[in-house]
Amino acid sequence: MNIVILGAAESGVGAALLAQAKGHTVFVSDRGAIQSDYKAKLTAAGIEFEENQHSLPRILQADEVIKSPGIPEKAPVIKALREQKTPIISEIEFASRHTQARYIAITGTNGKTTTTLLTYHLLKEAGYNVGLAGNIGYSLAEQVIENKFDYYVLELSSFQLDDTEYFQPWIALLLN
């Protein structure tokens, strides 16, 4: 499958690495400059990427697009993809396809990080095989490649929940 990743920060690079590990053809596009550490990861993995632009003809060849949470729906590239009915999913949606782990998803307006860290700490101290990912700063997709956790505690912003269709947390917390 030809997968295009839009956005080359934590979630985008993690998704690119997982897509490549699963045998997909991967292209990463970022409208801005890509941080040197993320460029190094992509280069080391042999993943094709572009920065400071979105080459629409190349992007529109995708069978599926994984969109980073910071890219708005009104962006021209997203509008063009939606017009041609290319599936657009989130990194969380993509990563959840590739693990049997259970998710404890934490979202809402206030208290997400504190609740996520506390939940992770309690489960870890209780002896559970648990990972930490999401808006907390760790890519779920990259962790799925490197670790075999039974549970993930995920801090999720509303933007990370956009473009999810089949992602189903075992436990979901909505804070306000």
Does the pLDDT of residue 75 top 90, yes or no?
Answer: yes
Looking up residue 37, the CATH number of its domain turns out to be 3.40.50.720
Cα separation, 51 vs 34, in Å, equals: 6
On whether both 71 and 146 belong to a single domain, the answer is no
128 located within any domain: yes
On whether both 15 and 79 belong to a single domain, the answer is yes
Cα separation, 57 vs 150, in Å, equals: 40
Q: What is the pLDDT of residues 42-63, one digit of tens each?
A: 999 999 999 999 999 999 999 9
Does the pLDDT of residue 157 top 90, yes or no?
Answer: no
pTM: 0.91
Note down the domain range covering 137: 100-175
On whether both 71 and 10 belong to a single domain, the answer is yes
Does the pLDDT of residue 149 top 90, yes or no?
Answer: yes
DSSP string, 139-171: -HHHHHHH---SEEEEE--HHHHTT-SS---SE
Cα separation, 31 vs 46, in Å, equals: 20
pLDDT band at 66 (very low <50, low <70, confident <90, very high): very high
Give me the chain's average pLDDT, please.
Answer: 95
Structural domain ending residue among the three candidates 63, 89, 115? 89
94 located within any domain: no
| Whether the Cβ atoms of residue 66 and residue 19 lie closer than 8 Å to each other | yes
Does the pLDDT of residue 69 top 90, yes or no?
Answer: no
Domain count, the chain: 2
What pLDDT is recorded for position 85?
Answer: 97
